[in-house]
Structure 1
Amino acid sequence: MKQPVVQLTIPEDKKVYFSSDNHLGAPDAAASKPREKKFVSWLNAIEKDAAAIFLLGDLFDFWFEYKTVVPKGFVRVLGKLAQLRDAGIPIYFFVGNHDLWMKDYFKTELDIPVYHSPQVFELNAKRFFIGHGDGLGPGDKGYKRMKKVFTSPFFQWLFRWVHPDIGVRVAQHLSVKNKLISGDDDQKFLGEENEWLATYAKRKLETAHYDYFIFGHRHLPMTIEVGKNATYYNLGDWINFYTYGIFDGKSFELKTFEG
C-alpha cells in the first residue's frame, strides 16, 4: 500500500537535519563510545533550531528486538533522542541494513516513527525522496537475496529462539566481518554514471518529480545532479566523515560537524 506524502512546514528560523550511518557499537563498545558522544554533541548543537530530524539508518551496527529485550548500551544517544522528542522536535527513523530488525521500540519508548522503506516528504513544497538506500538500484544481488532472508518473518522467528547473549554476539561478529550480510560497499566513488543510487534516482524521475533524493548506506558524502532541478545527496557517515545534511526551508547542503 502506497504511503501518503508527509507534509511539513519549516519556519524561517528553523532547519531540518539529516544524519546516517553512525554504526554505534562497531567495532566494539569502547571504540564506539567517542563517536556516540560526538553524535550527542551534534544533537545538542542542533537542538536550538531543529524543526525536524531525520535519521537514515545504521544508527547501530547491530540491532535486534526480542519480545522483551533490546541490545545493551547506547544510553547517551537514546536518552538524548528521548529528550528531543519530549521537547516537541519530530524525529523520523529509517532502518538500514544493520538495524533492519527494528520493530516498535523506538515508537513505543521514544515516540519516533520507524520506516522500513523509502518515504516521500514535502518540506516547504520541496519534494524529498528519503531512505537508507540499501537494496535500491541495479546490482548488489547477493545482498538483495540475503536481505530477503533476513526480513522474512520465519527467519526472525527462528532467531528469537536463540538466547540474546549468543544471538547478539554472533550477529555483531557477522555485521562487522561479512560484507555480503552487512551490504556495505567499498568507500570508493564510482563516478556519477556508476553510482547505483544515482541511477535509481534517475529512474524514479521518469514517473514523478523529486527535488531531492536523500540516502545513506554508501558512507561517502556526495552530491550528484540526477535531473532538471533534482539532486541526489549521500549523507556520508559518522565513522570517517562526520557529515550531515541540512535543509533551511529553501535549499539543501552537506556539512561536516567539527565539534
Structure 2
Amino acid sequence: MQINLASDQKVYFASDFHLGAPDYRTSKEREYKIIRWLESIEDDAAAIFLVGDIFDFWFEYNTVIPKGFIPFISKIAQMRQKGIPIIFFTGNHDLWMKDYFTVELGIPVHHHPIEIHINRSKLLVGHGDGLGPGDNKYKLLKKLFTNKLCQELFRWLHPDIGIWIAQKWSGSSRISNLEKDEGSFKGEDEWLWAYTKEVEKRTHFDYYIFGHRHLPLELPVGEKSSYINLGEWVSQYTYGVYEHDKFMLKSFAK
C-alpha cells in the first residue's frame, strides 16, 4: 500500500478502543470521545488505520452483527462518504471480523500485519497479538479461535448465548492481564520489541506500528528504525500521527 501525502495531510493510527467494555455507560462515554477525536482529524486525514481491538468483542454471524456502536459506525460511514480511506485490523478481541465493514463501508479488514509506504518511509503495521517469543498459551488459543470448523460451530449458537459467552471470556481476559501486570514495561522482555528486532535482521522498516500492549512505547530498532506501540483508549487515549516524514505519538484530551 502506497500513500503519497500532500504537505498539509497526515496519516493517523489508533488501536485498542475496546468498545463495549467494561460496561455500557463507560463504553458509551469512550465512544463519543473517539468520535470527537475523529471529528478533530478528518479535515487533514489522508488515511486512518484502526489497528485492532476496536471492539471488545465482535463476531459476524451470517445475518447478525453485535448490537450497539451505531454512533461510531455512523461516524466512520460519514468519513468514508467524504472519501477518507479507513483501514481496519483485527485484534485478539475482534478477530472474527469478516466482510461486513468491507461490503457496507468499503473498509478493508486485515488479519495480519501489512507493509505500507508513506512518502519515503516503509512501515509494518498490525495489531501484534501472537507475534514474538513466548505467550504460547495464547498462540494455541488463537489457532483454535481462527479454525474455520470451530467458527462454524460457534455460529450455530444463538447470538444471545454466543455473545454472552464471549463477553464473559473477554472480561476474564482483562482481569487476567491485570493480575499479570501486563501494563508495565518489560524491558528486553517486551516480546513485540523482540519481534521487530528479528524482522529488522531480514527486512528493513523505518517504523513498526503495533497495538495490543496497552502501553504507549517508542523504542529504537537498530540504528534507523523505531518500534511504536499505540497504547489504548480505555484510560490513555493515545494515537499515532505520520506527518512531514516523521511518526509521533500523541494523546487526545478533549
The TM tier, using the shorter chain, reads: over 0.9
- Partners of 1:82 and 1:181 lie apart in 2 by 35
Residues 208 and 84 of structure 1, relative CA distance in 2, 3 Å threshold = same
Question: Would you say 1:107 and 2:111 are equivalent positions?
Answer: no
1:188 aligns to what?
184
Q: Structure 2-normalised TM-score?
A: 0.97
Tell me the amino acid that sits aligned with residue 106 of structure 1: F
Residues 254 and 65 of structure 1, relative CA distance in 2, 3 Å threshold = same
Q: Which residue, 27, 51, 60 being the options, matches 1:56?
A: 51
- Partners of 1:178 and 1:233 lie apart in 2 by 24
- Partners of 1:180 and 1:148 lie apart in 2 by 22
- 1:125 positional shift: 1.9
SS class of match (1:171): helix
Question: Would you say 1:141 and 2:173 are equivalent positions?
Answer: no
Tell me the amino acid that sits aligned with residue 186 of structure 1: E
2:124 aligns to what?
129
- Partners of 2:100 and 2:88 lie apart in 1 by 12
Question: Would you say 1:21 and 2:5 are equivalent positions?
Answer: no
CA contact (8 A) 2:89 2:111 kept: yes
CA contact (8 A) 1:11 1:249 kept: no
- Partners of 1:187 and 1:257 lie apart in 2 by 20
- 1:249 positional shift: 3.7
Aligned length: 253
2:27 aligns to what?
32
Tell me the amino acid that sits aligned with residue 187 of structure 1: G
CA contact (8 A) 2:17 2:233 kept: yes
SS class of match (2:40): helix
SS class of match (1:157): helix
Residues 49 and 19 of structure 1, relative CA distance in 2, 3 Å threshold = same
- 1:180 positional shift: 10
Bigger share in helix = 2
Q: Which residue, 228, 232, 235 being the options, matches 1:233?
A: 228
Q: How does 1:86-235 map to 2 (within 5 A)?
A: 86-178=81-173, 186-191=182-187, 193-235=188-230
Q: Structure 1-normalised TM-score?
A: 0.95
Tell me the amino acid that sits aligned with residue 162 of structure 1: L
SS class of match (1:147): helix
- Partners of 2:244 and 2:213 lie apart in 1 by 26
Tell me the amino acid that sits aligned with residue 87 of structure 2: Y
CA contact (8 A) 1:16 1:50 kept: yes
Question: Would you say 1:46 and 2:41 are equivalent positions?
Answer: yes
- Partners of 1:180 and 1:57 lie apart in 2 by 19
Superimposed CA distance per residue, residues 101-144 of structure 1 (whole angstroms, 9 cap, x where no aligned partner): 00000101111000000000000020000000000000010000
- 1:220 positional shift: 0.3
- 1:204 positional shift: 0.4
Residues 91 and 74 of structure 1, relative CA distance in 2, 3 Å threshold = same
- Partners of 1:112 and 1:249 lie apart in 2 by 26
Query: Which 5+ residue runs of structure 2 have no aligned equivalent?
Result: none
- Partners of 1:179 and 1:21 lie apart in 2 by 12
Tell me the amino acid that sits aligned with residue 184 of structure 2: K
CA contact (8 A) 1:219 1:235 kept: yes
Query: Which 5+ residue runs of structure 1 have no aligned equivalent?
Result: 1-5
